[in-house]
Structures are given as structure tokens and as C-alpha cells.
Amino acid sequence: MNIRVPVSWLRDYLKANIAAKTIANLLSLSGPSIERVEKRGDDYIFDVEVTSNRSDAFSVFGIAREANAILTNENIKSELISPKGLNLPLEPDRTNPLTLDVKITDHRLCPRFTAIIVDNVKIKPSPAIICKRLESVGIRAINNIVDISNYIMLELGQPMHTFDFDKIKNHKMTLRPSREGEKIKTLDGKVQKLPKGAIVIEDEGRLIDLCGIMGGENSQITRRTKKVVLFVQAYDPQTIRKTCQALAFRTEAATRFEKGIDLEGIVPALSRAVYLTKQVSNAKIASELIDITAVKSVEKTISLSLNKLKNYLGVEISVEKTTKILGLLGFAVKTTPQVISAVVPSWRILDVKDDVDLIEEIARVYGYHHLPSNLPEGQIPQGGESDLAGVIELKKALKYLSLTEVISYSIIAKELFELSKTKEKEAVELANPLTSEWQFMRPTVLVSLAQVIAENQNIEKDIKVFEVAKTYIKNEGDLPKQDLMLAIAWQNADFYQIKGLVENVFEILLRIPKFQKFTGENHLFEKEEVAQIKVGESLVGTCGILNDQIIDYFNLEGQVAACEINLSIIYQLPTFQLSYKPVPKYSAVIEDISAIFNQKTLLAEIIAQVKKAGSPLVKKVDVIDIFKDEKIGKDKKSVTLRLTYQRSDRTPTQEEVIIVREKIIDAFSKSFQAIIRR
């Protein structure tokens, strides 16, 4: 959270003759960060980022305390001055003090409760300096009493509240958890319907305070107020947080209560409030101090070995310097030659718990910028490069194969999810989606790629894109299956183009793919234009033409060829080893052979026949051409194969080649009823 700190206000407590900009720079390096320095009139305003653990620094005085420690450590003369009135004795100024009857039903809700009544109050505008300071941090000045409560919160970080004493029925207060559905009209005029368990105060039949968040309108200070209850507490941070979450409503006070309050700072804050009330409205103390403490704060001492400190910092800091730094931060320090013992100040008790926390305090004030910078040494871990290094290489290769990489959201809309026809029991669904646009973890990347093509098809033709991403399939009782997929979509390409690309991909992956008839359930591809891809016995992917349902859903022009390949499985499988084969010494005889086959005769079978019949002379069979034509006949195709006849001891003779060729032709006509084209 950020707070705004006027530098002129800061200088009330920080006596250091040094420029605002220097203070800002040094604070940023060693304490809360000054994100911006804003010039406002003749003053500067610091915009300070305070981390949630540093409840002690959510105030002007807290920042002054930090700055004093940091400046002093940088050898800049500096002194910390406490606000006036912190130790003001809280004794009634009159003989027959007023009373307020306080009952707390559950002390866990309120670790410390203090209040005091002042009377003789005259409501008027605050002095100019208070108005100016409040306004410079964005709080509207209201009147001298209400302004004091805001002023104290900004100054000391302790939120406080003020009631009109005369408006509290029977001068009775019961602090209790709220019941579900109870209502209170808060100071902003809004009616809050409360969840169960918010902390509230009831006088007699009425809620008068939504504790820690905002006071009730019915007991607020008005122009006619004469007697004021000054009210300073600590509340259970978790309860305040839960209430704010339930109400979706948070105030500056609540934010501070959520982070935790310095229990020892409560009475000084009340004293300071009384002091200021006396100053600005001539008020008199009209009651005894009410101080109900449920938790006795215990002193906490932390020991830190100097050796450990050195091992963390990579440099040795003298005991004197260490002691001085901790002392400036409010720690009471004792040292032996090996160990520092530090008593944690009450305002740091929630934050500083272990010796590593002490190390942080010493190191940051000493200055991270003063520490050396060294690359670590030591052994490099065992275990080789993971598969992911291969993914980067694969992506680069695809780029050089003219594909463009996209990265789309892994969370998809319900409609897209349904398009994938994934079974409900396999769905990985978000319990708290941001919008319906992002509701399911996608079971396939292909729907997203189809969408990318749809969104770009008016800009460019024949889009060819890929994405590498995980997909998610529910796995009852365990984490979802999250395999890394390579998906490719290619507009206006046919099956053989995508198959060729997949073959290229496998050459890059150093695995040998087999394309088989698709046997599983398939909701993305055309039934007759899809193949499953195997490496060895493992199913590793699918490729084919996206079906009409997807084309229609996205209004895609033309057909889209696509594939999805499971890299997680592939990387588990062995790569093929490239081995040396001698380059043939004698030239080969190469000839083409054309024949007409039935259209459905598979090329794999034709080639297998050639190899069988032609062995061992035929070393290589390439498919040169396939074409279909009415002239050849219906359901027929002409296939031209290029055969390589080769021997290792000499060039094959014409006679040898003829014999083998005849065997092949014979096999063709016997097995496939094929007709040779001469």
C-alpha cells in the first residue's frame, strides 16, 4: 500500500539538514520506497510504498524513524523527535468524572481497548496547518475533533475514532460479533448489511460502530457536540480482513488494523489525541482512562550468530555497526563476540520473528548497495539439460520452416471448450473465473489456433501458425494431466502438406513417425481425413483436416490442415541414432515405373511390395507422382515410383535390372491387379 507523506510534516520529527530528494533516494535503497516526489507549493510530498509487513511504517512518524536510522548510518547528522503529548498523564481534570460502561463479549476480537471522555469541547474548523496537512494527503478536513482522529492515524499509524458521548444511549457500550444481516448506517451515509462475525459496538439496541472500519452515523460528532469519547483500539486483523472482504468495502483505518497494531503504542496515541484536543478546542479530560487489555504483550528476544550474518551478507560488518543499526531501529541489543541478542521493539513484534529477519534489518540499513557483487562459485548441479531446451530449438526450426508462432490463452470460453467435445469428467474448470471468456483450461490448442486464423484471415491468406503449450485433462483425485503440445494449423493446405510438415517436425525431433488409421474418438478432424501418429508403440499425435463443425463455427475460408503432437510423450522416447553408411562406390541404375492402382490401395502397401519383390537389388523407392483422371478410370490412380537399383560391388547390369523389374510388375498385378503403364 502507498501512503503520502508531506516532507514538511516529516521534518517535525526528523531533524536532518538535508534535501528531500536525498532523503527519498536513501529511504528507497534501505527502507520503504519513495515512488514519486511531488512538488506541492513550497513543500514536497513523498509517495511511499510500504510493504504489508511494515505496519510500523504506515505513518509519518514511522517513516521519520526509518529515515533517521538510514541517514545516521550514511553518516548524515540526524535526530528523531517524538510528537508532543505521547506521555501526557491521562487523569481527569474534574472531580466527578463521567463514566462509560464498556462490555467486551469476546476479547479475542479486541486485544486492547482504550477510551477516554473529554468535555468542554468547542467544535470549529481545525488550525490551518492541520487542514493543510490532511488535504495534502487527500483527506478532507471536517472539524477540529474529527480531524484529530485522521491526523493521529496519519502521524502515528494508529487509527482512532471519536463518538459524541451524549449520543451514546445510557453511556453503555457492548463490543461483540455481529449477527448475520444486522444493519448499520455508517458515517458515509451508507447502510451496511453485515455478515456474521463483524466487530460491532451496540449501545442500547442500536449499533453505533462498525469497529475498525467506520463509525456509525448515529453517534457522530456534529457542530453541537460538547463531550467526546476519544477511542483507540487494536482489533483482530483476520476478523477485520474477513469483514472487509465480505462487504467489499475497505477504509484507511481497516487497512491499518488488518496489518496489526502496536499494542504498546495505543495509550501514547490516546495521550497524543487528548493533547491535541486540548490544544485545538480547550477540552478537559472528563473521565478516567478506560484500558482493557486482553493480551499481555511479551518481550521477544532474538539471537543471531555473527557468523551467520557474515555468511548471508558475503561481507563482515563490525559488531559496533550492527549494534548501532539495530539500536537506531529501536532494538535493545546485547552482544557477545559470537552472538547478537536483540529485544524486538513493540512496533516490530509482528514482523521480526527469526534471526533471518534481524539479518534483513541489518543488511538493508547497512545498505544493499554497499554489499559486494560476486557470481557464485561451487559445483554445477548433476543432471542434464531438460527437454525444454529442445522446445526452444524446435520453435526456431518451425520459424525457419515458415511458420509463425502464436501464444494464446490457456483458459478458454465455455463455447470453445464445448467445440472440443471433451467429456465432462475430463473438464478442468475454474471455480472462480474472471469472466465467461476465461472459464475452462483448454483440452486442445487447436480450437485456439482456429480462432487465430479466423481473426486474421481477412488480413492475410493461407495462414500457417503454431503454438507450443500445455493442455489440461482432468484426472480425478490428482492434478490434471498437463502435457506439452505442439499444435499447427495451416489454412488452405491439404492432408499431404500437413503430413509432410509433421514428417519434417519428426526429423527435427529425431524420432520416426508412423501414420496410421485413426482409431480413437475424434471431434476436431474430418472422419476420412485424419491420421494418428505413433512413435514405436506410443500414440503421440493426430493430423488431418479440421472438420466442418469447426470451419463453420469460426467461418473459416477454405480448409484448414492441422496437427497436435504430444511433446511430453515424445521427449520420453529414445531418439534415433544417426550412423555412418559408406557412400556407394558404384553408380546406381535409376528408373521410373508407373502403374494404375485402385484408388484405395495404400502406397505403404505398394512400396512394401516393391521392397519385397525387389530385394536386395532395390535400395530405395520414392513416390514421384500420383494422379487421378477420368481417362484412367473411375476410382483409379496412377502412381509413378522411382526405383534405385544398386550393388555394393559393381553397377548392376541391364539384365539384372530387367529381371527384378519383371518381378515387381508381376507382384503388382498379382497383389493389386495393377496395370503397368509403358
Interface with another protein in residues 476-505 (CB under 8 A)? 477-480, 482, 484
- Pair 166, 294: CB distance under 8 Å: no
Backbone angles phi, psi at 467, to 5 degrees: -145, 145
Q: Output the smallest distance, CB 419 to another protein, in A.
A: 18
Residue 393 assigned to a binding site: no
H or E element that contains 327: helix 319-328
Of the candidate spans 118-126, 225-233, 448-456, 624-632, the one that interacts with another protein by CB under 8 A turns out to be 448-456
Written as nine digits, the cell of 634 is 473411375
Residues numbered 64-103 forming contacts with another protein, rule: CB under 8 A = none
Residue 81 in grid coordinates: 523527535
Options 185, 206, 321, 470; binder of another protein; rule CB under 8 A:
470
Hey, which residues between 505 and 534 contact another protein (CB under 8 A)?
none
Residue closer to another protein by CB (options 404, 599) is 404
> Sign of dihedral through CA atoms 219, 224, 226, 232?
positive
Cα 294 from Cα 107, distance rounded (Å): 6
Between 411 and 509, whose beta carbon lies closer to another protein?
411
> Considering the rule CB under 8 A, would residue 436 count as an interface residue with another protein?
no
Strand runs labelled E in 605-654: 618-627, 636-645
Q: How far is the CB of 367 from another protein (least distance, A)?
A: 10
The runs of H, that is alpha helices, within 514-653 are 548-554, 567-572, 603-614
The region of 100-108, 150-158, 465-473, 635-643 touching another protein under the rule CB under 8 A is 465-473
Range 248-277, binding another protein (CB under 8 A): 258-259
Ligand-binding site membership of 635 (annotated): no
Q: Where are the beta strands (DSSP E) in 199-325?
A: 199-202, 207-210, 214-215, 228-234, 284-285, 290-293, 301-305
**Among 128, 191, 298, 434, which residue sits at the site for another protein (rule: CB under 8 A)?**
434
20-28, 78-86, 138-146, 191-199 -> range binding another protein (CB under 8 A): 20-28
201 versus 240: smaller Cβ distance to another protein: 240
Q: Which of 125, 314, 558, 584 binds another protein (CB under 8 A)?
A: 314
Q: Check binding of 389 to another protein (CB under 8 A).
A: yes
Q: Identify which range of 89-97, 237-245, 289-297, 643-651 contacts another protein by CB under 8 A.
A: 237-245
Amino acid at 316: E
Q: φ, ψ for residue 111 (rounded to 5)?
A: -60, -30
Measured CA to CA in angstroms, residue 199 lies from 188, 292, 419, 448 at distances of 18, 16, 49, 49
- The Cα–Cα gap between 144 and 125 comes to 5
Q: Provide the β-strand partners of residue 468.
A: 486
Q: Judged by CB under 8 A, does residue 424 bind another protein?
A: no
Residue 552 is labelled as binding a ligand: no
Q: Name the residue nearer to another protein (CB basis): 52 or 648.
A: 52
Please tell me whether residue 37 binds another protein under the rule CB under 8 A: yes
Q: Which of 204, 460, 548, 591 binds another protein (CB under 8 A)?
A: 460
Query: Which of 171, 442, 464, 511 is the binder for another protein (CB under 8 A)?
Result: 464
Residue choice 35, 38, 605, 635 for contact with another protein (CB under 8 A): 35
Q: Nearest distance from residue 586's CB to another protein, in Å? A: 15
Give the shortest CB-471-to-another protein separation in angstroms: 11
Which residue, 509 or 593, has its beta carbon nearer to another protein? Answer: 509
Q: What does the H/E/C string look like for 206-240?
A: CEEEECCCEEEHHHCCCCCCCCEEEEEEECCHHHH
**Residue 181, interface with another protein (CB under 8 A)?**
no
Shortest CB 147 distance to another protein, Å: 29
Give the helix/strand (H/E) hosting 253.
Answer: helix 252-259
Does 368 participate in binding another protein (rule CB under 8 A)?
Answer: yes
Residue 633 β-bridge partners: none
Q: Which residues contact 495 (CB under 8 A, 6 or more apart)?
A: 529, 531, 543, 544, 545, 561
Q: Select the residue interacting with another protein from 34, 306, 450, 489 (CB under 8 A).
A: 34
Q: Which is nearer to another protein, 435 or 654 (CB)?
A: 435
Contact string 392-421 vs another protein (x = CB under 8 A) = x--xx-xxxxxxxxxxxxxx----------
How far apart CA 510 and CA 576 sit, in angstroms, is 6
Rounded to 5°, angle at Cα 276 from 272 and 280: 175
Give me the helices (H) in 527-621, please: 548-554, 567-572, 603-614
Query: What DSSP character marks residue 186?
Result: B
Residues 339-358 that bind another protein (CB under 8 A): 354, 356-357
Give the C-alpha distances (Å, rounded to integers) separating 136 from 3, 15, 128, 240: 11, 21, 12, 28
The label of the residue with cell 473411375 reads 634
Residue list 40-59, contact with another protein (CB under 8 A): 51-54
Pick one of 40, 185, 241, 278: the residue that binds another protein (CB under 8 A).
241
Closest CA to 59 of 323, 291, 268: 268
Given candidates 138, 181, 189, 381, which one binds another protein under the rule CB under 8 A?
381
Residue 450 burial by CB count (10 A; 0-12/13-18/19+): exposed, middle or buried? buried
- Specify the residue, 139 or 469, whose C-beta has the smaller distance to another protein: 469
Using the minimum distance from each CB to another protein, give the nearer residue, 201 or 428.
428
Instruction: Name the residue nearer to another protein (CB basis): 95 or 402.
Output: 402
Cα–Cα distance, 436 to 441 (Å, whole number): 12
The reply to whether 483 sits in an annotated binding site is no
Nearest to 114 by CA among 158, 56, 147: 158
Using the minimum distance from each CB to another protein, give the nearer residue, 400 or 580.
400
**Binding status of residue 23 toward another protein by CB under 8 A:** no
Count of residues interacting with another protein (CB under 8 A): 95
18 binds another protein (CB under 8 A): no
Q: Which stretch binds another protein (CB under 8 A): 168-176, 363-371, 629-637, 660-668?
A: 363-371
Tell me if the bond preceding 616 is cis, omega within 30° of 0: yes
- The residue from 315, 590, 608, 659 that contacts another protein (CB under 8 A) is 315
Question: Distance (Å, rounded) from C-alpha 13 to C-alpha 8?
Answer: 10
The single residue among 18, 33, 139, 289 that binds another protein, judged by CB under 8 A, is: 33
Q: Residues marked as binding?
A: 351, 357, 360-361
Q: Residues marked as binding for Mg(2+)?
A: 351, 357, 360-361
